[in-house]
Structure 1
């Protein structure tokens, strides 16, 4: 089997939650990896994921095209993972997820590199959330610059260090109740970060259909209430699940958008919960899913106990319930 050691892949946003798993998946396939991040001095945790000299971090910012072009010099493939859940300073949705994605794609086209872009199932130009509209704008910009690019749209991603299951587990540790925005009826299809990383690596391998948009979801469609119940079972805590109408949630978000940690909630995040976040029938019919790539997805209930145990009252020393 031929080695990929002579193939250089530049991964934008490779130091984050999804990024470290993508870097690990590419390293296992013997690619040389250049990780393009805003703060390369904080990306040292990636080097042990590969062999000596296989992974190297460089500085790049999606708001500065020159830095993108420099990061892509000599690359054979570009992977864009950069995304934000809330705006901060100059890091705006449109600048990062819209214009920034297009800048990466144009630089990839100029370098003759294969383009893989990770978006989100919530990408929709008519979305009530600016997050969703900016993701849709990014997809248009990517395909406009590189029509053969692969777009991957995951549902909500879970795994160690995520900002989803860990966030609610942390909230359950300090609060006697957990809010169910909109009654907790919104449907999600949580997908394991390792499965998404495998799909990205497959796209870099060239196993995906050029120009296609893949939708990545886990094996189960769950409501927010069902997800909260799973998390509470895993961390072995009993909490009141309180329904919170969208209107009231939006009012609370006006203040909580400035809160730290697990308490943070933005109006944009409330708007996202007004729509289900699941793989479409069209994507399933066309085989543009994890299963279509030959990947059997792992469930939240199977994976969460491996990392959420730290939120139990006694952590790893908690006695298992009968």
Structure 2
């Protein structure tokens, strides 16, 4: 209790705290007794976070990483800053460079100006020489972070899963809607990591238990191909569909058409159907923890966290995609 009371004086500002990973991070911080300031573009849409703590512990504020002044105001008075902001698809002014490169720089410079510690979340696959603009801007964002805040802690997670995710949930929705499942990168390897485990690693960094100035690669306990993961989704949901592996050339053309139609309809296409050409480029590369990170202990296990297996978690939230929901008998 004494430790919680001491931490209650510490304020952690979380940029992007209302998103999928953000709510897990906010919960982990609140459970430790930190005061949490959630910096988001739409504070009116972040009210769902407040029940994760006691009255007054979690406070949403307006900030946009594209506008430096709003970021500076959000950082004022903070003891630690966390940047979770990232996008998978460019929409208008919310483009990869503005959000993941320039935005990362703005947050890092604001944290450095106020002399507070910074935790930055990037992604496995970040590479400034990548063909993918997403991966390039992630890497350039990391460079900007370390340039402004050399002692920052940077996490690179693999695909993050959990209730409301955009990975297992997407394929479950597609299996329910389509007679066949066309996928690209069927043999590409992934290392799905539980959102709660990622949030715990971030919270330990806030605690000061994670050495700064390093990049930590965060993955789950298993490496699986995309086909294997999709097959598991089918088993969990009880919806067996033929899986068609698309050549990358065909997938790029298809993704370009889908992206054009999505823009033409002002984003009315179902999210599960939207795949961009840049995402196709990402699917050509394995998304797993590197051998170097494992050898140097820059992993969940190296931080003393036992990663959760996706098989033990996904059935708890994919049951709604079964024909009769929780009443459907499914053998996995």
TM range, smaller chain: over 0.9
- Give 1:2 shift: 2.1
1:1-322 superposed matches below 5 A: 1-3=2-4, 4-182=7-185, 184-257=186-259, 258=262, 259-321=269-331
Distance 2:199 2:3 in 1: 21
Which range is displaced more, 280-289 or 172-181?
172-181
CA distance in 2, matches of 1:64, 1:157: 28
Aligned pair count reads 321
CA distance in 1, matches of 2:183, 2:331: 26
Q: CA deviation at 1:31?
A: 0.3
Gaps of 5+ in 2: 263-268
Structure-2 separation of matches of 1:229 and 1:66:
47
Return the offset for 1:260: 2.8
Cα distance between partner residues in 2 of 1:320 and 1:132: 38
Question: Which TM-score applies when normalising by structure 1?
Answer: 0.98
Aligned mates of 2:233, 2:74 — CA distance in 1: 40
Q: Which runs of 4+ in 1 moved over 4 A?
A: none
Q: Secondary structure at the match of 1:51?
A: coil
Query: Which secondary structure does the structure 2 equivalent of 1:242 belong to?
Result: strand
Cα drift, residue 201 of structure 1: 0.3
Distance 1:302 1:109 in 2: 40
Taking the aligned partners of 2:65 and 2:85, their CA distance within structure 1 comes to 8
| Per-residue CA distance 1:280-304 (angstroms, 9 max, x = gap) | 0000001000001111011111110
Deviations 1:57-90 (CA, angstroms, capped at 9, x unpaired): 0000000000000001100000000000000010
SS at match of 1:148: coil
> What is the Cα deviation at residue 166 of structure 1?
0.5
Distance 2:297 2:148 in 1: 25
When the two chains are superposed, the root-mean-square deviation of aligned CA atoms in Å is: 0.9
Deviation, 1:316, is 1.3
